[in-house]
Amino acid sequence: MGDLDETLIPRRRVLLLLGAGVVAAGGGLGVLLEACAPAAPITVRVQFDTSTLVTGTPTEVPFTITEGSASVAGSTWLVKRADGGLTAFDPRCTHELCRYDWAADAGRFKCRCHNGVFALDGSVLTGPPPRPLDRFPARVTGTVLELDVPASFATPRESI
């Protein structure tokens, strides 16, 4: 038994090792969660006089995101609501990130990739889109429109 007593780890040391393991795992979890967190949105500023918008008539407004030497072409569909508020839609269909257009004759947004159709408020009317059109948070100061665009934004795919 004398040999066995020398190889046992004291209870206090076991608790210390377990505590250190928990702290190390917690730190690793924090790093993992931070790496998986979405990047902060990019604020895009566009010169556009929103007073020219007609209530209930979508208007496509182009913009370019420039990060270093790279640039991404994009746009937003602006809709002036009856209450005077403004909705800025992401120009990518929620199904396959294809470009969609406003069909004025039908009063609908239409995506030609897979025949997705959306109402003026962005809700899905028909087709495969899994959810309504995404929106960009938007602010207007004078003739400057500010959009908070996801850092992962990419130019919409053309119709396939």
Structural domain for 23, as ranges: 2-36
Residues 26 and 50 occupy one common structural domain: no
Residues 31 and 102 occupy one common structural domain: no
pLDDT in tens, 53-99: 999 999 999 999 988 788 899 999 999 999 999 999 999 999 999 99
Residues 101 and 132 occupy one common structural domain: yes
For 64, the token pair is: 């370019």
Residue 156 lies in a domain: no
Residues 109 and 61 occupy one common structural domain: yes
pLDDT in tens, 129-159: 999 999 999 999 999 999 999 998 998 988 6
Q: Which residues of 81-106 are buried (b: 16+ CB within 10 A; e: fewer)?
A: eeeeeebbbbbbbbbebbbbebeeee
Residue 158 lies in a domain: no
pLDDT in tens, 17-55: 666 566 555 555 555 555 566 688 999 999 999 999 999
- Contact indicator for 96, 113 with CB cutoff of 8 Å: yes
Residues 51 and 100 occupy one common structural domain: yes
What CATH number is associated with residue 134? Answer: 2.102.10.10
For 18, the token pair is: 């377990």
